[in-house]
């Protein structure tokens, strides 16, 4: 593989409704796309990746401007320096990306986007789908939905009722101190024995264990990331005090981190987000590790466009993903997606079987939502 061109494209896409979590409210998203053209086997192929960073460093240390900078200044040049012919060394593909970028510390979301673009080009060159590459045999996956913090409990009940009417098979409620017991109780009382879980996004402390223990009464599937992302020991201590299984999200940044969490007893469930862990290949390694240890996994979401959403659905088709993921329909977040929309049918989302990771983005949508673009010099 020889890189021919890399362009970083930032879009500005309004959300259909504000999405509020413990780290703030989002009214719009700024998807950062990597468009990569490479020569593979004598043919030029274009691949697309999506970086899931937020505009500000509130979910992780990465943020939009930092991702653009590290991609342009360090990651793309490191990839462009790889040998590209048998005379210089073995031809490379997506499997070589993580090793080529390892000397750059951190920035897993930026690295994931670049690996994703390389993998997409590689698969398109051989007319292979991501599902086929991963060995997925399912043709669809169950779809859950994440519900942000609402202005009132009554509005929450209306929103949840709407999603259940659409066919979503699992509800996840965002919680934070002051918005936890009451909304969870109200949803459970109104809708009965639906699959229900909560996500705290690191909003609590171990001293809140007595409060969190009161959530046990609601028979939740799990409580996601209640404590700080860098404290596995305290999650393990909290797990011993709760009947509700603890799921880790922000804490799981790699297969090594997942192994530590499992060994400490800090995670009975793991939320695997490909962008957060450095890409789909590392996500598969975490899936394999968790499955070998009997730890349930599910595929989380970062409000992706149709590019990342379709790829997530394929990943979620692996057999260890035993819980419904946050792979909702495109219209959950966007009135218009940049690809053919991901749709919900019978509570499930179909897995993309065409070449690459997803349908190609529509040129007119890229123009409509254009915010910033820059080509990265390769020499």
Instruction: Walk along the chain (379 residues) in steps of 10 and give the mean pLDDT of each run.
Output: 96 95 92 97 96 96 97 97 62 92 97 98 97 97 97 98 97 98 98 98 98 98 97 97 98 97 98 98 98 97 97 98 96 97 97 98 98 94
Nearest to 356 by CA among 136, 51, 120: 120
DSSP-assigned letter for residue 211: H
Instruction: Identify the active-site residue in 68, 111, 174, 285.
Output: 174
Residue 4 CA to its chain's centroid (Å): 28
The 3-state secondary structure of 114-131 reads HHHHHHHHHHHHCCCEHH
Cβ pair 60, 78 in contact under 8 A: no
Give the CATH class of 2-127+361-375.
Answer: alpha beta
Q: Which pLDDT value is given to residue 90?
A: 53
The angle at the Cα of 298, spanning 341 to 352, to the nearest 5 degrees, equals 30
Nearest to 33 by CA among 377, 360, 364: 360
Return phi, psi of residue 265, to 5°. 75, 25
Pairing of strands 24-29, 269-272: unpaired
Cα dihedral: 158, 249, 328, 366 (round 10): 120
The residue behind tokens 């979401």 is 301
Pairing of strands 296-299, 269-272: parallel
Inter-axis angle of helices 280-292 and 306-315, nearest 10: 30
Architecture, CATH, for domain 132-350: Alpha-Beta Barrel (3.20)
Q: Is the pTM of this model over 0.85?
A: yes
State how far the Cα of 5 lies from the Cα of 379, in Å rounded to an integer.
11
Instruction: Identify the active-site residue in 29, 35, 111, 273.
Output: 273
State how far the Cα of 344 lies from the Cα of 327, in Å rounded to an integer.
9
Annotated active-site residue 273? The verdict is yes
Q: Which pLDDT value is given to residue 24?
A: 87
- List the beta bridge partners of residue 373: 9
Cβ pair 318, 134 in contact under 8 A: yes
What's the burial of 164, exposed, middle or buried (CB within 10 Å: 0-12/13-18/19+)? middle
Is 2-127+361-375's fold the same as 132-350's?
A: no
Sketch the domain layout of the chain as residue ranges.
2-127+361-375, 132-350
252 token code pair: 């799981």
Q: Which pLDDT value is given to residue 22?
A: 86
């Amino acid at each position: 593989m020889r890189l021919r061109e890399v362009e970083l494209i930032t879009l500005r896409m309004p959300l259909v409704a504000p999405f509020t979590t413990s780290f703030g409210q989002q009214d719009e998203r700024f998807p950062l796309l990597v468009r990569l053209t490479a020569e593979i086997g004598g043919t030029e192929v274009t691949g697309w990746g999506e970086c899931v960073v937020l505009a500000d460093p509130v979910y992780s240390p990465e943020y939009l401007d930092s991702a653009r900078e590290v991609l342009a200044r360090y990651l793309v040049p490191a990839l462009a320096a790889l040998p590209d012919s048998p005379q210089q060394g073995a031809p490379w593909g997506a499997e070589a990306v993580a090793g080529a970028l390892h000397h750059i510390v951190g920035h897993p979301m930026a690295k994931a986007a670049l690996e994703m673009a390389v993998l997409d080009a590689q698969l398109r060159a051989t007319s292979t789908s991501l599902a086929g590459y991963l060995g997925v045999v399912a043709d669809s996956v169950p779809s859950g939905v994440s519900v942000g913090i609402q202005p009132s409990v009554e509005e929450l009940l209306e929103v949840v009722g709407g999603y259940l009417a659409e066919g979503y098979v699992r509800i996840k409620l965002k919680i934070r101190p002051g918005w936890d017991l009451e909304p969870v109780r109200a949803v459970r009382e109104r809708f009965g024995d639906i699959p229900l879980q909560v996500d705290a996004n690191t909003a609590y402390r171990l001293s809140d264990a007595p409060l969190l223990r009161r959530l046990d009464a609601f028979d939740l599937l799990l409580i996601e990331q209640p404590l700080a992302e860098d404290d596995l020991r305290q999650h393990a201590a909290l797990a011993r005090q709760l009947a509700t299984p603890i799921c880790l999200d922000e804490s799981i940044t790699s297969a090594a981190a997942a192994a530590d969490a499992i060994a400490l007893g800090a995670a009975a469930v793991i939320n695997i987000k490909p962008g957060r862990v450095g890409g789909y290949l590392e996500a598969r390694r975490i899936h394999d590790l968790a499955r070998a240890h009997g730890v349930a996994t599910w595929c989380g979401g970062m409000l992706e466009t149709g590019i990342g959403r379709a790829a997530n659905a394929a990943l979620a088709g692996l057999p260890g993903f035993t819980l419904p993921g946050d792979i909702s329909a495109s219209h959950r977040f966007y009135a218009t997606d940049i690809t053919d929309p991901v749709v919900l049918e019978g509570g499930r989302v179909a897995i993309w079987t065409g070449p690459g990771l997803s349908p190609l983005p529509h040129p007119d949508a890229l123009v409509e939502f254009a915010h910033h673009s820059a080509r990265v010099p390769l020499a």
